[in-house]
Structure 1
Amino acid sequence: MPQTTFSVNGRQYVHQGTPVVVICIDGSEPAYHELAIAAGRMPWLKEIIASKGMSWEAHCAIPTLTNPNNMSIATGRPPAIHGICGNYILDPATGEEVLMNDPKFLRVPTVFAAAAAAGLSVAVVTAKDKLRRLLATGITQSGLDPAGSGELVEPANKGICLSAEKADTATLEENGIEDVLELVGMELPGVYSAELSEFVLAAGVKLLQQQAPDLMYLTLTDYIQHKNAPGTEVANDFYAMIDNYASQLDALGAVVVITADHGMSPKHHEDGTPRVIYLEEEVNKVLGVSGETPDGGSRVILPITDPYTVHHGALGSFANVYLPQGADREAVLQALRGRDGISYADTSDNAAVLFEMPLDRMGDITVLSDKDTALGRYAAWHDLGNLEVPLRSHGGLGELAIPFFVNRVLGAPGDTASHGSNGEQAVLHNYDAYWVATSHVAANVGASV
């Protein structure tokens, strides 16, 4: 089969002529698949691991949130490079708090855009529409030039990019495809449902059968993981469904990578109430100001914030703190570092280097809570009435570990690990997915189980 080589964001990809499919399971800590396999619910994945050994515990990008990690997978690089550092930010250009789903925030082209420019066909199916506009850049809408000019260009080879959430309104002009419900053979799923993720996978199988795109990305929703712990019946049913569709993609001859955008942790007391540190209140106490939204106080930005409040009520494990001019930053840091439930508090200058994030979008102080605790702004800011079950959430170091599976025999994990900014070998990351699935399968095309 003919090879196609393309480069983007300082990394070279060698597509071997076999379709490549990356599945991103939203919110998938390793215990989910481990317990599902133990329960006999993921026979395909169990066989892949047993016969090929291509299973690693990898890391995601910080913050361990949906938008930053999906765009890390899409660009092959961490947020310091692509610029998407949350679902929600304080826009430094305007001073307004905004959702970070506008393509204007993306600072580099995607792997998909570069592949399309090299003549490969691309298809992206996301569960939620909030990700579609970012992922569509360079595929179905204009995006940064993959050649690195910094200019916006129209797609060189228009592909497909749609969301399951709005599959019923997909058009050729906007999404590169129409009549999606008829193609998939499913009704439009609800946004708060397991069926939203199943629709993504079913669409992937149909697209591979009928159009055989060279590169495909299927990214799910973490609705199930926010509501159900690993090993529960509902969680095992969900992972059995994933296993079924992954086996179909494998049977169709694709190189299949399964990874996740972040893990998930319980963040509640024994009585089921959320375990929360209201960070804005804590910081303002140190600053000597009072009230819920006092003049001269701090402003805390929670990057997990998005429109889907049933999931987490905007309570996550990562926060950016903006201090008023003249505030004693060191006093605030000392108070936070001694606070139970906080795992990390430092200047954003240091955090940007450590976590490979864009400093200009991070505020003055960066705070991460531990695996058992969530961060909020102040109590009245959060509408927790929609939380249907005890809080399970993400964003910090407690949700860093994720799975990484490939249905091909590759080199040892060290051979496929990415490298940190200091040049030393680092752990495998979810954003290595397309690099591993293309440049590391040359001798193994067609070697699926």
Structure 2
Amino acid sequence: MTATTFSVNGRTYTTPDCPVVVICIDGSEPDYHEQAMAAGRMPWLSKMLADGGTSWPAYCAMPALTNPNNVSIATGRPPAVHGISGNYIFDAESGEEVLMNDKRFLRAPTLFAAANEAGLDVVVVTAKDKLRRLLGAGLVEAGPDLNGSGAFVEPRRHGICFSAEKADEATIADNGIDDVLALVGRPLPEVYSADLSEFALAAGVEILRGRGADLMYLSLTDYIQHKHAPGTETANDFYAMIDRYAGQLDQLGAIVVLTADHGMSAKSGPDGRPNVVYVEEEVQALLGASSARPLDGVRVILPITDPYTVHHGALGSFASVYLPPSADRDAVASALRAIDGIEAVHDRADAASRYALPGDRIGDLVVLAEAGTALGRYAAWHDLTQLDAPLRSHGALGEQNIPFLVNRVLSRPDDLDAAGLLHNYDAFWVAGTHVPQTAEV
């Protein structure tokens, strides 16, 4: 493999002389791998770091949710650039609340599409199918024009992009690969299981071993992290599994980056019941309305909402509040800030600037909960009957710290964002452009 340079979204990437594999461990605050290493459950990672690998503190994009951060990693930029502001939004154009899983919401091409266009062999494997169409845009199906015209163009050559969730449905035409179950040698995994993540990792190993790749992205699921705290037996088992596959990728000669899309926080009290602020109920009460006679024009969007409600019951820690024109936004914001469990309330302009968000895809107000508190709309909107463990969830500042681990000796880049912070969306840029070509562990 020879070095290839390509540019996308204002960044230039130079690939190294070996495969680059980025593993996004969904919901992985640093305490998970630190506890697992302390228990002796991650021998590859422990040895790699002791022998000169790199471990840096890093941050996820806001909101600290799956879709915005996976797309940030895939584009090398925050949501203000790529436009994916949540798993779920209020679409002002249609006037409807919709899932943000469709590529039509993308405002920037992915680095996968750009690398594919430059002639590189790109492989993307996601655990959940909800990410596949976003990450595969321009790689295996039409995506935003690399020249920024806003048009959608077909890829000139097909990479590979499929999900573990629907691996049995993968075809050459739609995913760039078929017979995935036979390749991996594992049955189709259950969605709500650790097996979903293991299948994605096993697929990555088999693809790299059998046909190779230049860039590979393996995105896992946070099913385990939503149910099990760092250091528990189940969590340590899960991280031991990740360690095995990361070690195999390392043995195959890849630069391996372990990072996450967001962290995870416990959001239940000692009795096991969720600590929840129902924001829509609070706003209605502040404006003099009630659940029996709600005021028109009040709408709260919880961008964590997705089809996988067993994980979290749509309770996260980030909310967008839409208010009627007559409402006093400053007064509502001030009153919300006074509620126990609320960490911050920003108006649209401040939130967009502070957290690099697309201003037209968030509410008049953005509400962030403290790490130990979840945000809901109103009690009847949430089905919590499927929660079979104390609530652990994410979305705001309490879940922004994530790992950034690389199996190479690196010097910290000096050309990061304006604040000098390292983010998960720097992963491919750091692993390629900033890795010395002769460095080995």
Structure 2 counterpart of 1:419: 417
Residue by residue, what CA displacement relative to the aligned partner does 1:88-141 show, whole Å, maximum 9, x if unpaired?
000011110000001000000000000000000101000000000101101110
Structure 2 counterpart of 1:110: 110
Offset of residue 146 of structure 1: 2.0
Kindly report which structure 2 residues correspond to 1:61-100, keeping only aligned pairs within 5 A, or say none: 61-100=61-100
Q: Distance in 1 between matches of 2:89 and 2:151?
A: 24
Q: Give 3-state SS (helix, strand or coil) of 1:321's partner.
A: strand
Structure 1 counterpart of 2:288: 288
Kindly report which structure 2 residues correspond to 1:162-181, keeping only aligned pairs within 5 A, or say none: 162-181=162-181
CA contact (8 A) 1:267 1:274 kept: yes
Alignment RMSD: 1.1
CA contact (8 A) 2:17 2:437 kept: no
Q: Is 1:132 paired with 2:132?
A: yes
- Percent identical among aligned pairs is 66
Kindly report which structure 2 residues correspond to 1:214-225, keeping only aligned pairs within 5 A, or say none: 214-225=214-225
Structure 2 counterpart of 1:278: 278
Q: Distance in 2 between matches of 1:442 and 1:8?
A: 22
- Return the letter of the residue paired with 1:439: T
Offset of residue 47 of structure 1: 1.2
TM-score, with structure 2 as normaliser: 0.98
CA contact (8 A) 2:258 2:404 kept: yes
Kindly report which structure 2 residues correspond to 1:328-367, keeping only aligned pairs within 5 A, or say none: 328-367=328-367
CA contact (8 A) 1:287 1:297 kept: no
CA contact (8 A) 2:58 2:401 kept: yes
CA contact (8 A) 2:297 2:322 kept: no
TM-score, with structure 1 as normaliser: 0.97
Q: Distance in 1 between matches of 2:70 and 2:306?
A: 15
Q: Number of residues paired by the alignment?
A: 441
Structure 2 counterpart of 1:201: 201
Q: Is 1:45 paired with 2:61?
A: no
Offset of residue 291 of structure 1: 1.4
Structure 1: 5+ residue stretches without partners: none
Alpha carbons of structure 1 residues 163 and 43: separation in structure 2 relative to 1, 3 Å = same
Kindly report which structure 2 residues correspond to 1:254-265, keeping only aligned pairs within 5 A, or say none: 254-265=254-265
Q: Distance in 1 between matches of 2:421 and 2:438?
A: 23
CA contact (8 A) 2:62 2:396 kept: yes
- Return the letter of the residue paired with 1:304: I
Q: Distance in 1 between matches of 2:173 and 2:53?
A: 42
Offset of residue 234 of structure 1: 0.2
Kindly report which structure 2 residues correspond to 1:143-182, keeping only aligned pairs within 5 A, or say none: 143-182=143-182
Q: Give 3-state SS (helix, strand or coil) of 2:311's partner.
A: helix
CA contact (8 A) 1:416 1:428 kept: no
Offset of residue 368 of structure 1: 0.3
Offset of residue 2 of structure 1: 1.7
- Return the letter of the residue paired with 2:247: S
CA contact (8 A) 2:123 2:215 kept: yes
Offset of residue 389 of structure 1: 0.4
Offset of residue 17 of structure 1: 2.8
Structure 2 counterpart of 1:438: 432
Q: Distance in 1 between matches of 2:88 and 2:188?
A: 27
CA contact (8 A) 2:259 2:404 kept: yes
